[in-house]
Amino acid sequence: MAIRRVFSLVVGISVLCLFLCVSSSKLRSNKKWHFPKATRKALSGYDYKTYYFKQQVDHFGFANADTFLQRFLLADQYWNNDGGPIFFYTGNEGDIAWFCNNTGFMWDIAAEFKALLVFAEHRYYGESIPYGSEAFKNPTKLNYLTSEQALADFADLINYLKSSIPGASQSPVIAFGGSYGGMLAAWFKMKYPNLVLGALAASAPILQFNGITDCEAFNEVVTQTFERESAGCVSNIRASWQLINNYGMTDAGRKLLREIFHLCQPLNASSDVDTFKDWLTGTWVNLAMVNYPYPANFLEPLPAWPVRESCKYLSNPATSQGLLPDIFAAISVYYNYTGQATCLDINQQGTSSLGDMGWDYQSCTEMVMPMCSNGVSDMFEPMEWNFTQYSDNCYKMWQVKPLLDWITTEYGGTSLESASNIVFSNGLLDPWSSGGVLQSQSRSLISILIPDGAHHLDLRSANVQDPYDLQAARVQEVNILKNWLNQV
Ligand SMILES: *[C@@H]1O[C@H](CO)[C@@H](O)[C@H](O)[C@H]1NC(C)=O
Ligand SMILES: *[C@@H]1O[C@H](CO)[C@@H](O)[C@H](O)[C@H]1NC(C)=O
Ligand SMILES: *[C@@H]1O[C@H](CO)[C@@H](O)[C@H](O)[C@H]1NC(C)=O
Ligand SMILES: *[C@@H]1O[C@H](CO)[C@@H](O)[C@H](O)[C@H]1NC(C)=O
């Protein structure tokens, strides 16, 4: 998940199967469900089939009868159709196949639970786009990109699966999700307790909202994750901003910045320097988010413990080459670990399948997560949270004004007492843990902390380099799921 920065209007710089591939046709409920024996080799090694389900564009009104096709992935090879549960991934802001690829935990435990796996794509992402190419050109066509509509899609899809798959009607459903998908998993359990038995909400910052979490908190966690490697790393990054500002003031300085950082484009004006600093900030944030204990390719191909690798260039006082070349070397761990990058593009934060446009719009409507920095308890340039400015920028970009407090009204903020059966897991290296539920709220609202974990590390597949605390967290998660299922 990316964060929307106040100063940047550049989108994407923010900062956080088959029934033989039944393409473009709604699953027909009157047709007998049938699982082909044919080989189902999936490229990722994860073997699933892709389907499309016809959804209402607007679940909350009657004037608009438009529909769209929602993609979902289904894996039934582990499923016991006589009582086995349905593990349902509540898709977030990107291509569902990419989340499916990166949620190995569900695959790892599917056989033990004899579970049916379903990965449902979020509307306006991947292939599930109401109004297709028109969607992002017209505010009235984008109007249906909300978390409430997405949850209603999941609800209708579950009802449809239960009514059409033989043996599924009584299957208990467990929702899984990471990041925004984790928020959706938790909210899904709260809003549709009739459909979901429990939820595993990994790295779900449901408290990263106005009046609940301090706007500094996120950047403080980023800083602590770097501090864990070395204090010098943090002080060097903190010192770099002033240097960049100095260079940024003149044409000659901006030319040097471009040379030092191997940028694809020239920095023409001081506004480009702001974009450049936003991009650097986003890079540090992303490094902390994906600070995984083994080489992984989530946002970018990276080595194990990328923050450590990055800080190797910054732990001492600046080398004779100077601080900025050291900063460049440090961010090259993120952008050029493979050695293939020809230049660095300040309009790009990664090669992931995240739908940056859609998330930018959501950040400009419901998902307003206040962020700020002070340069003292964090390593960034001081930047105040200014909702007026944020809102003005949103209006320029999308012709909509954000609602600062709606999410808390809709989902309850810290008032979780009426909810049950949710696991909130958080890796403490992950900046988003700042808005996570870090304390158990009741016997069935359980917080699991993973001190050595980054962004939803627990949802990834098991790895020999998994830290002990992660292994323990997964054992606990499995036991909790078993408890819930045993109570059915
Ligand atoms: C999923 O993984 C496979 C194999 O690694 C890859 O070919 C495919 O492009 C991935 N899909 C996405 C959307 O990342
Ligand atoms: C600077 O101007 C050039 C030429 O117009 C353009 O190609 C480039 O993208 C601009 N740089 C940035 C960072 O926008
Ligand atoms: C990426 O790394 C390779 C190998 O070290 C290097 O030749 C290339 O210049 C680097 N690319 C950038 C954009 O710095
Ligand atoms: C917030 O931004 C608005 C619009 O850009 C500006 O007029 C106002 O002075 C800012 N407020 C503060 C406290 O900086």
Q: Quick one: which of 357, 440, 387, 447 has its CA closest to 135?
A: 357
Per-residue pLDDT tens over the stretch 263-313: 999 999 999 999 999 999 999 999 999 999 999 988 888 999 999 999 999
Same domain, 116 and 255: no
User: The CATH number of the domain where 331 resides is what?
Assistant: 1.20.120.980
- Residues framing ligand 3 (Cβ under 6 A): 262, 332, 336, 339, 341-344
In the chain, count of helices (H) and strands (E)?
A: 15, 10
Beta carbons of 208 and 218 less than 8 angstroms apart: yes
Check pLDDT > 70 for residue 345. yes
Q: Whose CA is nearest to atom 14 of ligand 1?
A: 98
Atom index in ligand 2 nearest the CA of residue 346 equals 13
Same domain, 133 and 12: yes
Residue 403 lies in a domain: no
Separation between Cα atoms, residue 84 and residue 172, nearest integer Å = 8
Same domain, 28 and 134: yes
Per-residue pLDDT tens over the stretch 358-370: 999 999 999 999 9
Tokens of residue 312, six digits: 């190797």
66 given a catalytic annotation: no
Q: Quick check: CB of 351 below 6 Å from ligand 1?
A: no
Same domain, 170 and 82: yes
Q: Whose CA is nearest to atom 4 of ligand 4?
A: 389
Residue 194, judged by CB atoms within 10 A of its CB (0-12, 13-18, 19+), counts as exposed
Contacts of 321-329 spanning 24+ positions with Cβ under 8 A = 323/236, 323/239, 323/240, 323/243, 324/240, 324/243, 324/244, 324/247, 324/257, 324/260, 324/261, 325/260, 326/236, 327/236, 327/237, 327/240, 327/280, 328/260, 328/261, 328/262
**Distance between first and last Cα of the chain:** 34
Which runs of E-coded beta strand occur in 21-172?
49-56, 67-75, 86-90, 116-120
Q: Quick one: which of 43, 45, 70, 46 has its CA closest to 56?
A: 70
Residue 224 lies in a domain: yes
What interhelical angle do 217-227 and 270-289 show, nearest 10? Answer: 70
Q: Quick check: CB of 267 below 6 Å from ligand 2?
A: yes
Residue 350: its pLDDT value, please?
66
Higher pLDDT: 28 or 320? It is: 320
User: The CATH number of the domain where 172 resides is what?
Assistant: 3.40.50.1820
Q: Whose CA is nearest to atom 2 of ligand 3?
A: 339
Atom index in ligand 3 nearest the CA of residue 339 equals 2
Residue 250 lies in a domain: yes
Rg (CA), the chain: 23
Residue 6 lies in a domain: yes
Q: How many domains would you assign to the chain?
A: 2
Same domain, 234 and 206: no
Residue where a domain terminates, one of 398, 420, 439: 398
Same domain, 413 and 372: no
Q: Quick check: CB of 389 below 6 Å from ligand 4?
A: yes
DSSP state of 90: E
Residue 241: its pLDDT value, please?
97
Same domain, 50 and 179: yes
179 given a catalytic annotation: yes
Same domain, 64 and 111: yes
Residue 438 lies in a domain: yes
Separation between Cα atoms, residue 488 and residue 484, nearest integer Å = 7
Same domain, 195 and 306: no
**Span 346-355, average pLDDT:** 74
**Span 417-435, average pLDDT:** 97
Residue where a domain terminates, one of 332, 366, 398: 398
Same domain, 338 and 461: no
Residue 275 lies in a domain: yes
Per-residue pLDDT tens over the stretch 147-203: 999 999 999 999 999 999 999 999 999 999 999 999 999 999 999 999 999 999 999
Residue 404 lies in a domain: no
DSSP 374-411: -SSSSSS--B---HHHHHHHHHHHHS----SSHHHHHH
Separation between Cα atoms, residue 187 and residue 90, nearest integer Å = 10
Residue 73 lies in a domain: yes
Residue 266: its pLDDT value, please?
97
Separation between Cα atoms, residue 302 and residue 44, nearest integer Å = 18
59 given a catalytic annotation: no
Q: Quick check: CB of 395 below 6 Å from ligand 4?
A: no
Mean pLDDT for the chain overall:
90
Residue where a domain terminates, one of 398, 423, 450: 398
Neighbours of 443 (CB within 10 A): 8
Q: How far is Cα of residue 349 from the mean position of the Cα atoms in its chain?
A: 14
Check pLDDT > 60 for residue 29. no
Same domain, 303 and 430: no
Ligand (nearest to CA of 344):
3
Q: Quick check: CB of 97 below 6 Å from ligand 1?
A: yes
Per-residue pLDDT tens over the stretch 32-45: 333 333 334 444 57
The β-bridge relationship of strands 301-302 and 422-427 is unpaired
Q: What percent of the chain has pLDDT over 70?
A: 90
Separation between Cα atoms, residue 349 and residue 351, nearest integer Å = 7
Which candidate in 153, 430, 452, 458 is catalytic?
430
Same domain, 426 and 451: yes
Which candidate in 147, 179, 420, 433 is catalytic?
179
What is the span of the domain harbouring residue 277? Answer: 217-398
CA angle 428, 355, 77 (to 5 degrees): 75
DSSP 211-256: TTS-TTHHHHHHHHHHHTT-HHHHHHHHHHHHHHHHHHTSHHHHHH
